[in-house]
Amino acid sequence: MTARRSLTSLHADEILQASRPQRRESDVTKLRVLPIIGAVAVGIALTPGVAVTPSSAEQPSSPIPACGQRVYARLFFGLEGPRGSVADVEWDAFLRDVVVPRFPSGLTVTHAKGQWQARGERPHGEASRVLEIVYDEKPHHDRRIEEIAATYKATFQQESVMVIRMPANVCF
């Protein structure tokens, strides 16, 4: 019975020892280096002339233009139609001849992959282009957006061009 108690006591001591966190040599080194790193960081932070304050920062040479309310339009053009795919050269010509003359001050074109379901058909994916234009809210600009969509549909035999317009607060 005595031998059994000593084995049980030994076993309990081993369990207790194993449950205590063991400090490795690397942990001890970290604990020694940590105060040094902290002191260096405090020293840098307190060194005069290191921090840049707003008053000493360089001011812009011209005033920042005010933001304004404009219209943000996104037009979605499918590139597949009854006559086949719209080739890159055809798209580039459409952009150059139809879109840019109506909005010469700027636009963005993104290549995309969309999904379309023609009447009576199953949905299918197709390559597409997304045209983004920001313009002042004037009736002739809205008319130009409609002209772009109508010209694309007629030229490339498309059922539709999706147009989204929304107000936007724009800054340049």
Q: Cα(152)–Cα(160) distance, rounded to whole angstroms?
A: 9
In a domain, 8, yes or no: no
Whole-structure pTM over 0.75, yes or no? no
The pLDDT of residue 74:
98
Residue 116 resides in a domain: yes
pLDDT of residue 152: 98
Does residue 112 form part of some domain? yes
Is residue 54 assigned to a domain? no
Predicted confidence at residue 140, as pLDDT, reads 93
* Beta carbons within 10 angstroms of residue 163's beta carbon: 15
| pLDDT at 64 (0 to 100) | 57
Which pair of tokens denotes residue 88?
Answer: 């890159």
DSSP string, 17-32: HHHSPPPPHHHHHHHH
The CB density around residue 78, as the number of other CB atoms within 10 Å, is 23
Domain tally, the chain: 1
pLDDT of 9: 43
pLDDT in tens, 96-110: 999 999 999 999 999
Whether 104 is in a domain gets the answer yes
Predicted local confidence at residue 34, as pLDDT: 52
- Give 135's strand partners: 71
Closest CA to 81 of 5, 147, 166, 154: 154
Which of the residues in the chain have pLDDT under 70? 1-65
Across the chain, the runs of DSSP E, i.e. the strands, are 68-78, 80-81, 84-85, 108-116, 124-135, 162-170
- CATH number of the domain at 148, please: 3.30.70.120
> What would the two tokens of residue 19 be?
């449950």
Find all residues with CB under 8 Å of 85, minimum gap 6, and list them: 79, 127
115 found inside a domain: yes
Task: Decide if 34 is inside a domain.
Answer: no
Distance CA 143, CA 161 (A): 15
Q: Give me the pLDDT at residue 2, please.
A: 46
One-letter amino acid of 91: W
Q: How many CB atoms lie within 10 A of CB 88?
A: 10
User: What integer pLDDT is reported at residue 154 of this predicted model?
Assistant: 96
In a domain? residue 33: no
Which tens digits make up the pLDDT trace of 108-124? 999 999 998 878 889 98
Dihedral, CA atoms, 34, 36, 38, 42, nearest 10 degrees?
A: 180
Beta-bridged to residue 85, according to DSSP, are: 80
pLDDT at position 6: 42
Domain of residue 109 covers 68-170
